[in-house]
Amino acid sequence: MQKEINGLQLLEVLNVHHWTSSTFSFSCLRPDNFRFRSGEFVMIGLNIDEKPLLRAYSIASPNWHKEFEFYSIKVEDGPLTSKLQKLKAGDNIMLRKKPVGTLVNDALLTGKRLFLFSTGTGIAPFTSIIRDPETYEKFSEVILFQTCRFNNELEFGKHTIDGILKDELLSEIVENKLRFFPTTTREPSQYVGRVTDWLKSKRFKEEFGSDLNPLEDRAMICGSMAMLNEFKEICLDKGLTEGSNSAPGHFVIEKAFVD
């Protein structure tokens, strides 16, 4: 029997993993009868000074999974993440059972290539979407782009991809369709540079065969406000239109995580 307090569900934490000094992920038992679309977010948090403090978090696990996974930054003096990063297996978090968001397949028109552009923990909704078989029914190529400052910040994404490749069913579904494209900005790696700079340079065409275009491409974008604004301009410039749940388009962004 799962507990509820003032309409908020209590979820038991199963696992916590610290990826870097500034990022961690944790998984919880998914509530009974909870439905969501891969890519959506929920409000989660803790009781702090006897009041619930909730923030928007993307569900990083796909909608068929029996566990919820969340990927978070650690902010030293952050009212919520300074406490959340101390979670241990067996602790509880609070959940408002209302999944929402625009980073969903429904908000995009059908297309050929799906680009998932993220910086830092903005990868979270996309680790849900790339594990949803429906994504590969709608798109024949799925490219997950993530820009981080340092190589070790790419580990969460790499680990998710490894998990997909080891999964008997998913590995077959994503075969020759899914590509992870990680880039770093503050230390050398195979691909260097901000995701926005990649889009503006001829390197993009060299790597992916053609520029981002409304005829075949759809894009989802998740990152800081500055990154979203820059991206939106690039997409509009290239002739892509912004989509929403009520009017699907060529690209979607999500502002719920931006302070």
Short-list 34, 120, 37, 116, CA closest to 71 = 120
Q: Which one of 127, 147, 157, 240 is in contact with ligand A2P (CB under 6 A)? A: 147
Among 107, 174, 195, 221, binds ligand A2P (CB under 6 A): 195
* Strand 4-5 relative to strand 8-20, pairing: antiparallel
Q: Which of 5, 48, 226, 247 binds ligand A2P (CB under 6 A)?
A: 226
CA distances from 197 to 90, 147, 191, 203, 230 (A): 43, 11, 12, 9, 10
Q: Is 148 in the site for ligand A2P (CB under 6 A)?
A: yes
Cα dist from 230 to 23, 33, 196, 197, 198, whole Å:
24, 39, 7, 10, 12
Q: Is 92 in the site for ligand A2P (CB under 6 A)?
A: no
Reference 57, options 20, 83, 96, 22; nearest CA is: 96
If binding means CB under 6 A, how many residues of this protein chain bind ligand A2P?
A: 14
Q: Rule CB under 6 A: say whether 74 interacts with ligand A2P.
A: no
Interaction residues for ligand A2P, span 172-191 (CB under 6 A): 185-186
Minimal distance in Å, beta carbon 84 to ligand A2P? 18
Q: Which is nearer to ligand A2P, 28 or 195 (CB)?
A: 195
Q: Which residues bind ligand A2P (CB under 6 A)?
A: 119-120, 147-149, 185-186, 194-196, 224, 226-227, 230
